[in-house]
Structure 1
Amino acid sequence: MTGSDAPRGVLRPQGAAGRFSLDQRQPDPALEPLVEFYWHVRWDLCGQAPYDQKVLSHPNVHLVFEEPRAAVYGVDRGLFVRRLEARGQVLGVKFRPGGFRAFWGRPVQELADRVLPATEVFGPAVERTSRQILSLSGEDTMVMAGLADAFLLARLPAIDPQAAEVAAMVETATGDHTLVRVEQLAERHGVSVRTLQRLFAEYVGAGPKWVLRRARLHEAAQRAEDASVDWSALATDLGYADQAHLSRDFTAVVGLPPTHYARS
């Protein structure tokens, strides 16, 4: 992975380059309404210091096949940090916003900022699949994705049409930076603010205000890779009252102001 092709939300992509590889695979077509893609990360830092990769998470739930056990990661509303050391690999399932609700069977908000053993959701069979996946060579991403396909297809729940509606709401919130208030998003989709908040709690796991704010921080972090960025203009572009407001939001999550992040 190079700095230029790092996914949105991966902080310090230039520093991450060369420390791990990232590959993505699409799910079986029958899973596409629920699963966005599979991601495969592998690293070999033997003889090197551990590396902490920081990520501004997205409004997605993940099932991760990893050591020592498979886990379900709810939406992390803070800053996600993963330590990489020695040698290893993981395969993740990135569910679409709203897509995990059918597997979980309960409000996804219950998973916010939590990591659960995957057996609590999928039963002991998930560990057998995890061992199969992790026993494969790091080059076998396609085979790994096939095993994940088979596991999820065998448990494919009935499609909830409301999940697709919520996914469209999240797509609007993350894709249109002119939307800065929850009221605007609710109006765009013809629902009340209360309905929007209820749907996000039930299906997404984070509120619409958080999703709107996180999308702006993703854009700010990506633009910060350009040392010549005009922060005042960017704050205006992203709907902030001023640069100081952008700086407060960014600092609260990332831990340092965007101007310092850009320079360091």
Structure 2
Amino acid sequence: MATVPPLLPRPFTRDACPHGSWEVVRALPHPGLRPGVRGYRGYRMDLGHGRRRLELPDACVSLVFNLDAPVWVTLGTQPDAPARPYSLLVSGLQTRPTFGEHAGRVEGVEVLLAPWAAFVFLAHPMGDLADRMADPVEFLGAEAGWLAEGLYETDGWGPRFALLDITLRSWAESSGARTSEPLRRAWGELAGSGGVLPVAELARRTGRGRRSLEYLFREQIGLTPKTAARVLRFQRALRLVNHGGRPLADVATTCGFSDQAHMNREFKAMTGRPPRQFLSERGAAPPGPAGIDRVTGQVTSVVLPGGISRS
């Protein structure tokens, strides 16, 4: 990645409650960090009640710094399974949903990464983070804590995003990991196809043997090409289903599923519910930060009834 010079505070867009109970802000990183760093997201909420969100596989690696109370996270499709609190969190590529809960008061910053860029920053095989969440200190050591402290002590979203730019530049320059150009090209081809490009054709286009490509994907993406394609295909179906107006069978055909039953099974595996229930819950979400997806242009979240009273 290109060297990023010291920067003035980054510009951002802001969506906020007129009564001041929540705000969500978004910013693009410096061009020298793109496209590996997809975006920054800041959030502050003081809702007066708990909030529970269903988070869906989104083909991103997330680096999260909760600067106030922790968020409680449950992996899998059972919301009553044991939850773990996270102040700092790194989430690899997921093939199943997660539940995130907080008691109503939360503030933090999220960095959204292409998986191959996360491989560079973390300098660790991404397969170790597949379907897993962890404290980033496990991979970054004290650097993760120093960044969290810097974000906490920095006033204003623009300066916080500028700090992220400078820190990520430093991590990229000091990392011993380097991403493979054929791997980056393969990921771009697969994502651009919505997950329907056959693995054999993907290998041919990138000039790698199938086994070599699968090794690179496991190391620098975290999933095999076939599994990564499942997530990308699911995300495309989510967008089409969420827009409404198209028969589910038509969505299934468009997105490369063998039939509607195949798509329904994937929805159940990756959301814990069939498409119609997903649409019903998504439509029932209250206005405000609850309905704002984490990744611009994707469907990533559903707000569910209830919430925790943990503090």
Place the TM-score, normalised by the shorter chain, in its bin: 0.7 to 0.9
Match for residue 12 of structure 2?
A: none
- Counterparts of 2:230 and 2:135, CA distance in 1: 29
Q: Deviations over 1:45-84 (max 9, x none)?
A: 11x3x22222223333222212453232222221132213
How far residue 20 of structure 1 moved from its aligned partner, in angstroms, is: 5.7
Match for residue 123 of structure 1?
A: 141
Identity within the alignment, %: 26
Q: 2:91 corresponds to which letter in structure 1?
A: Y
TM (norm. structure 2) is 0.69
**Relative to structure 2, which stretch is displaced further, 125-134 or 193-202?**
125-134
- Determine whether 1:89 maps to 2:91: no
* Secondary structure of residue in 1 paired with 2:115: coil
Q: 1:59 corresponds to which letter in structure 2?
A: A
Match for residue 64 of structure 1?
A: 64
- Counterparts of 2:200 and 2:217, CA distance in 1: 14
- Counterparts of 1:225 and 1:210, CA distance in 2: 23
Q: 1:145 corresponds to which letter in structure 2?
A: F
Match for residue 38 of structure 2?
A: 36
2:190 to 173, 179, 190: 173
Q: Are 2:37 and 2:113, in contact at CA under 8 Å, matched by a contact in 1?
A: yes
Q: Are 1:224 and 1:261, in contact at CA under 8 Å, matched by a contact in 2?
A: no
Match for residue 256 of structure 2?
A: 239
- Determine whether 1:196 maps to 2:213: yes
Q: Deviations over 1:213-248 (max 9, x none)?
A: 111211222222244321111111111111111111
How far residue 160 of structure 1 moved from its aligned partner, in angstroms, is: 6.2
Q: 1:22 corresponds to which letter in structure 2?
A: V
- Counterparts of 1:260 and 1:116, CA distance in 2: 30
- Counterparts of 1:236 and 1:20, CA distance in 2: 40
**Relative to structure 2, which stretch is displaced further, 210-219 or 254-263?**
254-263
- Counterparts of 1:180 and 1:187, CA distance in 2: 11
Match for residue 147 of structure 1?
A: 163
How far residue 41 of structure 1 moved from its aligned partner, in angstroms, is: 2.5
2:276 to 255, 259, 263: 259
Calculate the aligned-residue CA RMSD, in Å. Answer: 2.6
Q: 1:251 corresponds to which letter in structure 2?
A: K
Q: 1:211 corresponds to which letter in structure 2?
A: A
Match for residue 224 of structure 1?
A: 241
* Secondary structure of residue in 1 paired with 2:25: strand
TM (norm. structure 1) is 0.80
Q: Are 1:108 and 1:204, in contact at CA under 8 Å, matched by a contact in 2?
A: yes
Go from structure 1 to structure 2 and tell me whether the alpha carbon gap of 1:21 and 1:164 turns closer, same or farther (over 3 Å shift).
Answer: farther
Go from structure 1 to structure 2 and tell me whether the alpha carbon gap of 1:160 and 1:116 turns closer, same or farther (over 3 Å shift).
Answer: closer
How far residue 200 of structure 1 moved from its aligned partner, in angstroms, is: 0.6
Q: Are 1:63 and 1:73, in contact at CA under 8 Å, matched by a contact in 2?
A: yes
Q: Deviations over 1:138-190 (max 9, x none)?
A: xx221111122222233323686644432332222122137253223223323
Q: Are 1:43 and 1:84, in contact at CA under 8 Å, matched by a contact in 2?
A: no
* Secondary structure of residue in 2 paired with 1:99: helix
* Secondary structure of residue in 1 paired with 2:109: strand
- Counterparts of 2:259 and 2:266, CA distance in 1: 11
Go from structure 1 to structure 2 and tell me whether the alpha carbon gap of 1:136 and 1:219 turns closer, same or farther (over 3 Å shift).
Answer: same
Match for residue 29 of structure 2?
A: 27
Q: Are 1:59 and 1:205, in contact at CA under 8 Å, matched by a contact in 2?
A: no
Match for residue 14 of structure 1?
A: none
- Counterparts of 1:33 and 1:134, CA distance in 2: 26
**Relative to structure 2, which stretch is displaced further, 209-218 or 79-88?**
79-88
Structure 1 unaligned blocks of 5 or more: 1-17
Q: Are 2:121 and 2:168, in contact at CA under 8 Å, matched by a contact in 1?
A: no
Match for residue 119 of structure 2?
A: 101
Q: Are 2:94 and 2:131, in contact at CA under 8 Å, matched by a contact in 1?
A: yes
- Counterparts of 1:19 and 1:168, CA distance in 2: 43
Q: Are 1:96 and 1:167, in contact at CA under 8 Å, matched by a contact in 2?
A: no
Q: 1:144 corresponds to which letter in structure 2?
A: R
Instruction: Give the count of matched residue pairs.
Output: 243
